[in-house]
Amino acid sequence: MIGIGLVGYGYWGPNVARNFRQVPGSRLVAICDQSPGRCEVASRAFHHCQVTSRYQDLLENPAIHAIIVTTPVGTHYELARLAILAGKDVLVEKPMTKTVAEGEALVQLAAEKRRILAVDHTFLFTEAVRKIKELIDQGELGELLYIDSVRTNLGLFHPDHNVIYDLAPHEISIVLHLVERDPISVQAHGVCHTSNGVENLAYVHLEFEDDFVAHFHLNWLAPVKIRQTIVAGSRKMIVYDDMERSDKLKIYNKGITIQTPTGVDARCQAGINYRSGDMLAPHLENQEALAVEAAHFVECVRDRTPPLVPGEDGLRVLRILEAAQRSLDSNGQRVPLQTPNRLSKAA
Ligand SMILES: NC(=O)c1ccc[n+]([C@@H]2O[C@H](COP(=O)([O-])OP(=O)(O)OC[C@H]3O[C@@H](n4cnc5c(N)ncnc54)[C@H](O)[C@@H]3O)[C@@H](O)[C@H]2O)c1
């Protein structure tokens, strides 16, 4: 039986706790939150679970094998570090840490102590993203051209981090997972509509080799919730609408073919022919991503196997976030990134 401890029972923690409670072969042993009010809420929801405001209680409990960190990002590094030092495996919320330096230290510590360090990039466990990945890997889309994503809402204005650190981890983790390579540069523009200097609207642009690009519109100040991504390939294109209850994915057999002119015509521009075929909406299992992720993490802890999203992948996302912040701070300048790494294919 794998014992689980959870620290941080605010907005997201209850979702994570609820899903871990249902994983066969694991037991939610304890929940910790520094707020007495949140402890009271947790006690009401989880009768058979220890609820405490002392993190030390989780660290010292031998029945806890793994700790899940669902606190604000500024606390991730220290809480995860203490957990690893106490011999626990760790699943930490996105973004993994506040800085790249913290992320590097955490990855190194986990490797030294032979502990599992996984990052909650929830969307990689959705049926929709799994299906898109499958279609790309099978060559169904042809050559990938771009990914264009919109993630807007009348969202919570966080005082301590901007909309990029809040929402871009989802987009970046999806793109890196799908294309299995890292961008060569990042550009970001953003604006703050309040007096605290924290950007609530941003546009982030990732440039990859071979003219592939990814672009995200991230916005806490929109009248409607939009979660829409276009994945465009030379053969087919996908529209992924996460707000749809069914038909989240629509695969369009649409695109262009370019005729290269020969002879006398070569002086003319290349001709563009439009292709417009059928649309297919594949059936997707209606499974909660967190449930799949919780079961996967428990399996990794039990079998000592590498997680789908190891700390190294959390670090890749962080490097892009930091570069995006540098670009934002310099009025949208293009920030080059170091030599692209291949994403580790752990699972
Ligand atoms: N994967 C996702 O889709 C997703 C969605 C939402 C939030 N998140 C992530 O989850 C994390 C938490 O976000 P949230 O919206 O739940 O925040 P929140 O502020 O609502 O909740 C955080 C909780 O942690 C507690 N806390 C803070 N420091 C603590 C400490 N040192 N020890 C014990 N308890 C402590 C607070 O009292 C609070 O109850 C963030 O990293 C966020 O990015 C992920």
CA of 55 to the centre of ligand 1 (A): 14
- C-alpha angle 38/66/314, rounded to 5°? 90
CA–CA distance, 66 with 90 (Å, rounded to integer): 5
Same domain, 158 and 278: yes
Same domain membership, residue 274 and residue 168? yes
Distance (Å) from CA 11 to ligand 1 centroid: 6
Please give the residue range of the domain that contains residue 189: 124-286+317-336
Q: What are phi and psi of 213, to 5 degrees?
A: -135, 155
Is position 245 within any domain? yes
Which amino acid is residue 296, in one-letter code?
H
Q: Terminal CA-to-CA distance of the chain, rounded, Å? A: 22
Q: Are residues 56 and 142 in the same domain?
A: no
pLDDT reported for residue 35: 98
The residue contributing the CA closest to ligand 1 atom 4 is 12
Same domain, yes or no, for 74 and 216? Answer: no
> Is residue 299 situated within a structural domain?
no
Retrieve residue 129's tokens: 């993203």
Lining ligand 1 with CB less than 6 A are 7-13, 32-35, 38, 55, 70-73, 75, 93-94, 120, 122
Same domain, 109 and 231: no
3-state secondary structure of 205: strand
C-alpha 288/C-alpha 344 separation (Å) is 25
Q: What is the rounded CA–CA span in Å between residue 311 and residue 307?
A: 9
Q: What pLDDT was estimated at residue 260?
A: 75
Among 115, 141, 175, identify where a domain stops.
115
271 located within any domain = yes
Establish if 41 belongs to a structural domain.
yes
Task: Choose one of 12, 69, 102, 225 to mutate for the ligand 1 pocket test, by most ligand atoms within 8 angstroms of C-beta.
Answer: 12
- Mean pLDDT, rounded, for 305-322: 98
- pLDDT category of residue 338 using cuts at 50, 70 and 90: confident
Question: pTM of this prediction?
Answer: 0.94
What's residue 270's pLDDT? Answer: 66
User: Model confidence over 171-212: pLDDT tens digits?
Assistant: 999 999 999 999 999 999 999 999 999 999 999 999 999 899
Q: For atom 30 of ligand 1, which residue has the closest CA? A: 34
Considering the domain boundaries, does residue 300 fall inside one? no
What span, in angstroms and rounded, lies between the C-alpha atoms of 285 and 65?
Answer: 31
Residue type, 242: D
pLDDT confidence band for 340 (50 / 70 / 90)? very low
Task: Please state, in angstroms and rounded to a whole number, the distance separating the CA atoms of residues 225 and 232.
Answer: 22
Q: Are residues 98 and 190 in the same domain?
A: no
Query: Are 91 and 130 members of one domain?
Result: no
d(CA 8, CA 74): 12
Beta strand 117-120 pairing with 249-259: unpaired
* Amino acid at residue number 186: V
CATH number of the domain to which 157 belongs: 3.30.360.10
Per-residue pLDDT of 68-102, as tens digits, reads: 999 999 999 999 999 999 999 999 999 999 999 99
Q: Are residues 71 and 163 in the same domain?
A: no
Residue 234 pLDDT > 90, yes or no? Answer: yes
Residues 164 and 281 in one domain: yes
Residue 216 covered by a domain: yes
Assigned domain for 345 exists: no
Report the DSSP beta bridge partners of residue 93. 120
> Ligand 1 centroid to 245 CA: how many Å?
27
Q: Are 164 and 211 contained in the same domain?
A: yes
Is residue 143 pLDDT above 80, yes or no?
yes
Q: Can you tell me the distance from the alpha carbon of 30 to that of 36, in angstroms, rounded to the nearest whole number? A: 15
- In this prediction, residues 37-46 reach a mean pLDDT of 97
Q: Is the pLDDT score of 346 beyond 60?
A: no
What is the domain-level CATH number for residue 65?
3.40.50.720
Q: What are phi and psi of 219, to 5 degrees?
A: -155, 125
Of 95, 115, 135, the one marking the end of a domain is 115
Most ligand 1 atoms within 8 A of CB, residue of 57, 70, 288, 292 to mutate: 70
Tell the burial category of 57 from Cβ atoms under 10 Å away from its Cβ (0-12, 13-18, 19+).
middle
Number of domain units in the chain: 2
Burial of 104 (0-12, 13-18, 19+ CB in 10 A): middle
Reported as type and span, the H/E element at residue 216 is strand 213-219
Task: Say whether both 203 and 328 belong to one domain.
Answer: yes
Q: Using one digit for the tens of pLDDT, what is the confidence trace for 272-301?
A: 888 889 999 999 998 999 999 999 999 999
Say what percent of the chain tops pLDDT 90. Answer: 87
Give the containing element (helix H, strand E) for 81. helix 73-85
The three-class DSSP label of residue 317 is helix
> Strands of 26-32's sheet, edge to edge?
50-52, 26-32, 2-7, 66-69, 89-93, 117-120
Q: Select from 194, 204, 197, 146 the least CA-distant residue to 171.
A: 204
180 shares a domain with 217: yes
- Average the pLDDT over 242-263 and give the result: 88
Residue 83 in any domain: the answer is: yes
Q: Which residue, of 89, 115, 141, is where some domain finishes?
A: 115
Here the contacts of 280-285 (C-beta below 8 Å, separation 24 or greater) are 280/250, 280/251, 280/253, 281/246, 281/247, 281/249, 281/250, 281/251, 282/131, 282/249, 282/251, 284/127, 284/128, 284/131, 284/248, 284/249, 285/127
